[in-house]
Amino acid sequence: MNRQDRADAVDREMAARLLPDVVLTALGRWWQENTGRYADGTPGAQTIVYTPSRWAQITPWPPALAPASHTGDAKLSRAEVTEVVADALRREAFKEALVATYVWGKGKRGTPGGSGPATLQRILDTECLEAALATAVTKLCEHGARPAYAALHRQVPRLGPSFFTKFLYFTGKALLAAPGSMPLILDRVLSLRLRSLAAAVGRQTGHDPDASVAAWVWADWNWSPHRYEVYLSFMQAATRQLVGTGNWPSDATPDLLEFALFNTAWETLS
């Protein structure tokens, strides 16, 4: 087997086995601790804190966000970002939608002149950005998450998957009618969680005894469109698995699992 064949074999085993008991237990515990906050089965109530004035250099600034002149802290939930993005998409203000998702993703990490606002402004100044975002939205509406991901993958300098999947996720939530799997956020933390699962499966099956294949396919960034599709498929199936345990809300959407995985650790898998 070459490396890709081994990766495919691990993917098939992961799809068949899904989440091991130790992870199911950890996620069940997380749900017991967070039932009241996310009772609707979604992470819409998840709220970040950001400081609008730290983003004062950014244009265009979504009008529904706190004024960029505001020097204190402001809060922004997933549900509120979805509303901001929906409004921006109705006006085809794609850059505004990106700004909202980027600010939410950075939260308090955005500092004046720092990697957050400075990088975002360079992204916004990129000539191809508007067309790339518009194409991604069209692809998502007509063909689903993988083509939308492919439309942004390696297309806009400095805009990597950790942040453009946030744009796709909130766009999908705002559109409500995108075909196929729900777009989900995929960042370094989530990739590390999937790498842990893949490494365990690889060791158990002998397809990847040294976890080198898991480290390759679930790298820290720049995942391929195929890898994103594998991720979405796994998350959908794992959500159904969790619902079947009785320790997960029956109406849960896959983004609740995405949020829970981001915030849940477990013992080292054998």
pLDDT digit string, tens, across residues 183-219: 999 999 999 999 999 999 999 999 999 999 999 999 9
Tracing tokens 């983004």 back to the chain, one arrives at 255
pLDDT band for 110, please (50, 70, 90 cuts). low
pLDDT band for 9, please (50, 70, 90 cuts). very high
Domain boundaries, the chain: 3-34+187-262, 47-175
Q: For residue 221, which amino acid is it?
A: W
Q: Look at residue 114 and tell me whether its pLDDT is greater than 90.
A: no
Q: Look at residue 115 and tell me whether its pLDDT is greater than 80.
A: no
Phi, psi of 227 (to 5 degrees): -65, -40
Backbone dihedral region for residue 41 (phi beyond 0: left; psi -120 to 50: alpha; all else: beta): left
Q: Look at residue 111 and tell me whether its pLDDT is greater than 70.
A: no
**Which letter does DSSP use for residue 109 in this model?**
G
Task: Give the model's pLDDT for residue 41.
Answer: 96
Half-sphere exposure of 101 (CA within 13 A, CB side): 29
Say how far residue 210 (Cα) sits from the centre of its chain: 28
Whether the CB-CB separation of 171 and 140 falls below 8 Å is answered with: yes
CA distances from 137 to 118, 132, 175, 198 (A): 25, 9, 9, 31
Q: Look at residue 78 and tell me whether its pLDDT is greater than 70.
A: yes
For 140, other C-beta atoms within 10 Å of its C-beta total: 25
DSSP labels for 55-120? GTT-SSPPTTSPPTT--S-EEEEHHHHHHHHHHHHHTT-HHHHHHHHHHHHHGGG--TTSHHHHHH
Q: Look at residue 104 and tell me whether its pLDDT is greater than 60.
A: yes
pLDDT in tens, 224-268: 999 999 999 999 999 999 999 999 999 999 999 999 999 998 877
| For range 134-147, the mean pLDDT | 97
Q: Tell me: cis bond preceding 62? Omega within 30 of 0 counts.
A: no
Of 64, 11, 42, which is closest to residue 172 (Cα–Cα)?
42
Please give the share of the chain, as a percent, with pLDDT higher than 90. Answer: 91
Report the b/e string of 40-52 with b at 16+ CB within 10 A: ebbbbebebebbb
End-to-end CA distance of the chain: 23
Half-sphere exposure of 223 (CA within 13 A, CB side): 30
- Output the pTM of the full model: 0.96
Q: Look at residue 270 and tell me whether its pLDDT is greater than 70.
A: no
More confident residue, 213 or 1: 213
Task: Give the model's pLDDT for residue 266.
Answer: 81
Distance of alpha carbon 192 from alpha carbon 201, whole angstroms: 14
Task: Give the model's pLDDT for residue 187.
Answer: 96
